[in-house]
Every structure is written in structure tokens, then in C-alpha cells.
Amino acid sequence: MKIFDPHCHMISRVTDDYEKMALAGVRAVVEPAFWLGERRKRAGTFYDYFDHITTFERQRAANYLIDHYSAVAVNPRESNDVPLRDEVLREMPRWLDRASVVAVGEIGFDDITEAEAESIRRQLEISRDARLPVIVHTPHVEKLKGTLKTIEIIHKVGFPPERVIIDHNTEETIQAARDSGCWCGHTIYPVTKLSPERAVNILEKHGLDRMLLNSSCDWGPSDPLMVPRAVLEMRRRGFTDEEITKVVWENPIAFFRQSGRLGPALR
Ligand SMILES: [Zn+2]
């Protein structure tokens, strides 16, 4: 079974994880830009990070025959440092020109502040100019409120919903995300967010169109094999190989193909 995990923070993982993912069928990943724990205090640390995820990680993945793509953005949490955010947003389009950058992301709400809303609006415009799709993070607290406000902004600025992933959905947000016309991401974590069982429950209830599963494997409690674990759960429930392939391979390809930058194996 070929797997495309559309949301992995590989900068936080050891090389052994790439090997395990390759052994479990993962052939492609997208690494969105996020926050690294310690608050960044200068623009240059963003630029080095953008370099890292668009070059070094791509090579590390290639050693295990995994196609590594990335998304670049000022993440929701660090969007609240307005002078720093504005400085980075002025320079950011340089990285959006790179051949392996397939989206702007992750943008969205964290604390649901006005500075975060402004950052979403600005980066939707930047995405439009760069002709790239967008990955949207939904907040950990007040998730439904944050999701609804994000959808409102997407509609208000007229960004095409078919070029957006609303990510980290749960049972609470999925109906709103479906109704928005956006693609719907589901992050499967060992502790918080969704378990494989809960993610598959959502697929059973809401169908497979525009649905995506990811591990978001990062520096917190997380597991880079969560998509393969969800595949096993789908098989247990009686989904066919064709249906599973649609969710874990064809759907992410269909979405990120909109960037025009997927490699020959994924077109
Ligand atoms: Zn993330």
C-alpha cells in the first residue's frame, strides 16, 4: 500500500523514523512550517528553518526513497509578534518559488487573536500571488470557533476552497469543514487529537471525498506511523484497497497537484 502523509514535521524526527516510514509504505510527505517550541526572536531563524525544510529534509527523505515536499508560512502562534511576522512575510515569497514547495502553510488560528486573523488574510493573498494551495491549522482550544472564523475569512477574501486543507479536524469540526468545500485533514496522535479508530469513524460517517489522514509527527507525543496504523484500522472495518488508496494516496496527490510541482511519480 503506497502512502502519502500530507502533514509531517520531520525536522523533529530522527533518521530512523524515515526508515520506519519507508518500511511501512510511506512514499511521500509534506512538511508544513510550524513553531519549534522556543519563540523565534529574529527573522533570520525563520529563513534558516525554511532552508532546512526545503533542502536538508528533502535529502534525508530521499535516502529512504521518500519524496519530501514542504509548505512555507509564518505559523499561527508566531503571527502574534507583529513586527517580526511582517518582516518575515516580506521575504517569504523567495521560498515559495522553490520547486519542492507545494503550499503555503500552516496558517490559521492558535489563540484566535486579531493579529492571527490578519496573518491568515495576508498569507491567503500571498498564496494567491504564488498560485499555491494552502494548509490551515485549526486551534487546540476553541477548535470549532477557530475553524468557523477561518472558513469565514477564506470565503470573505474569495480564496477558492478547493485549494485549501482545513487540518486537524475532529468530530466537532468536520461538518463545518465539509460544508465549506475545503479539503479536510485529520491528524492522528497517540494521545490528543484523533486515534486511528476515531479518524476511521469520521470516514465511515462522512465519506472519502476530499478527506486526508496525517500523523503530524512533530516534537510532542506523536507517531510517524499513524497513517499506516489508520490503514490497518480501515482494513479491519472492511474498506477495500481501492478505498484506502483513495484516502492515503490519491487524495493528497489530487490536492497538491494543484501546485503544479509534484514529481513524476506523483503526477
Ligand atoms: Zn503541524
Distance 9 CA to ligand 1 centre (A): 7
CA of 245 to the centre of ligand 1 (A): 23
Residue pLDDT, tens place only, 156-184 = 999 999 999 999 999 999 999 999 999 99
Domain 3-261, CATH number (from 3.40.50.720, 3.20.20.140, 3.40.470.10, 3.90.79.10)? 3.20.20.140
Per DSSP, the three-state class of 214 is: strand
Whether residue 215 has pLDDT greater than 80: yes
Strand order of the sheet with strand 183-187? Answer: 3-5, 26-32, 67-72, 101-108, 134-137, 164-166, 183-187, 211-214
Q: Please state the rounded mean pLDDT for residues 24-33.
A: 98
Mean pLDDT of the chain: 97
21 has pLDDT over 80: yes
pLDDT greater than 90 at residue 190: no
- Give residue 200 CA to ligand 1 midpoint distance, Å: 20
Rounded to an integer, the average pLDDT of 233-242 is 98
Q: Where are the domains of the chain?
A: 3-261
- How many Å apart are CA 187 and CA 8, to the nearest integer? 10
pLDDT at 13 over 90: yes
Q: pLDDT band for 191, please (50, 70, 90 cuts).
A: confident
Q: Which pLDDT does position 257 carry in this prediction?
A: 97
The pLDDT value given to residue 265:
84
The per-residue pLDDT for 96 is 98
Alpha carbons within 13 A on the beta-carbon side of 36: 16
The model's pLDDT over 30-57, given as tens digits with 9 standing for 90+, comes to 999 999 999 999 999 999 999 999 999 9
CA of 137 to the centre of ligand 1 (A): 7
- Percent of the chain with pLDDT strictly greater than 70: 100
Distance (Å) from CA 257 to ligand 1 centroid: 20
Note the pLDDT tens digit of each residue in 79-121: 999 999 999 999 999 999 999 999 999 999 999 999 999 999 9
Query: What pLDDT, on a 0 to 100 scale, did the predictor assign at position 244?
Result: 98
Residue 193 has pLDDT above 80, yes or no: no
| 110 Cα to the center of ligand 1, angstroms | 12
Q: Kindly report, residue by residue over 131-147, the tens digit of the pLDDT.
A: 999 999 999 999 999 99
CA distances from 148 to 99, 205, 265 (A): 32, 21, 36
Q: Looking at residue 29, what is its pLDDT? A: 98
Cα-based torsion angle of the residue sequence 52, 56, 58, 59 in order, rounded to the nearest 10 degrees: 180
pLDDT tens column, 143-157: 999 999 999 999 999
Cα 187 to ligand 1 centre (Å): 9
Cα 33 to ligand 1 centre (Å): 7
- Ligand 1 centroid to Cα of residue 140, in Å, is 11
Q: What is the rounded CA–CA span in Å between residue 101 and residue 90?
A: 17
